[in-house]
Amino acid sequence: DQVGAAIEEDLYSKSIFQDVEPALDFFKLPNSTIQFSKYVYTASQKTALIEIVMQLDELGYNLIAIETSPNSTLNALVYNERLNTSPDVTWLMLQVDSTCCRLMSMQGKTYVDGVEERISIGEVLGDEENYSTVVSAIQPLLKNLPSQYMFVVSKTNIISAEALANKLVYSSPIIHQEANVF
């Protein structure tokens, strides 16, 4: 309860949640220690989720759940059979949106660690500047996260996951195998 309250308190300082209640989900990463705990969380505007539910209800759909957890992208990869890794395979999932890049280190289907780097990209910037910003933010992080594979997920229309994967493969000596994109 204390962790949830602390995250909510931090969220209320963000402009997107100042007047809107967040729907929050979080969990503790397995590599946390007694002295140093790491949590992964996601937050959505509760009113936006309610609006989605109402719209789907009007269309006659029976909604079972809206996935807002840190596992939502992982669940989508598993559901679409894009992810078929054995427990001994280490890999990274890179999620990019217009404000940050998230790297999640995975062992099979289990979270190992997570790192987030704030970025600022947008339509007013050119493609080269947007991609350069993401690559520059990610390359230093990759040095500390050894892996066999990388999945690249873009949650913005500004960055193409496929184009970013190609730029990372060709610009980084760390990535030796072709990245998978989603």
What's this model's pTM, rounded to 2 decimal places?
0.69
C-alpha separations of 100 from 48, 116, 134, 160 in Å:
21, 7, 9, 15
pLDDT digits (tens, 9 = 90+) for 30-59: 776 677 787 878 888 899 889 999 999 999
Contact indicator for 120, 99 with CB cutoff of 8 Å:
yes
